[in-house]
Amino acid sequence: MGARLCTYYQKSSPDDQSGALLRNTDSSLGHIISLDPADKSPFLGDLKPGSSQSSLETNMYRAPIFTHKVPPTDYLLVRSPKGKLSLRRIDKVNVVGQQVSTSLLIVVCRINIFLLIL
């Protein structure tokens, strides 16, 4: 299952064209999706007008991505399968937030199960 990087931009007004500017300035934002002011946020929280939020999406879920600053003193210790150790510099750290289901989930209620057993 592959995942894609998407950036949602909430327009501040119906004629706001800042989403197109995001597409032209930075290629690391993935696919840019502009939301109208009346559209609901695709996440559990609100997306403020004029702001953008990156997300990791699959067929099953959508989760927001947050970038964290990495101190210059942090390194990653990697061990190869043969036992060789090496230090690697950490350039960027992204943290994925709470997942929101994008597909319909079937939930069985306990009361229905209880009635089926009787």
- Whether this prediction's pTM lies above 0.85 is answered by no
pLDDT of residue 86: 96
Q: Which residue's entry shows tokens 């004029």?
A: 50
* CA 27 from centroid of its chain's CA atoms: 16
Distance CA 9, CA 37 (A): 10
pLDDT of residue 61: 87
Question: Which phi and psi (to 5°) does residue 24 adopt?
Answer: -85, -25
Residues in CB range of 68: below 8 A, 6 or more apart: 93, 94, 95
Scanning the chain, the segments in alpha helix (DSSP H) are 18-25, 110-117
Using left for φ > 0, alpha for ψ between -120 and 50, and beta otherwise, residue 50 falls in left
Interval 37-49: pLDDT, tens? 888 888 888 888 8
- Residue 115, pLDDT above cutoff 60: no
Interval 84-111: pLDDT, tens? 999 999 998 989 988 887 776 666 665 5
Q: Nearest to residue 53, comparing CAs of 68, 34, 25?
A: 34
**CB count in 10 Å sphere of residue 78:** 10
Interval 18-75: pLDDT, tens? 777 776 666 567 888 888 888 888 888 888 888 888 899 988 888 999 989 999 999 9
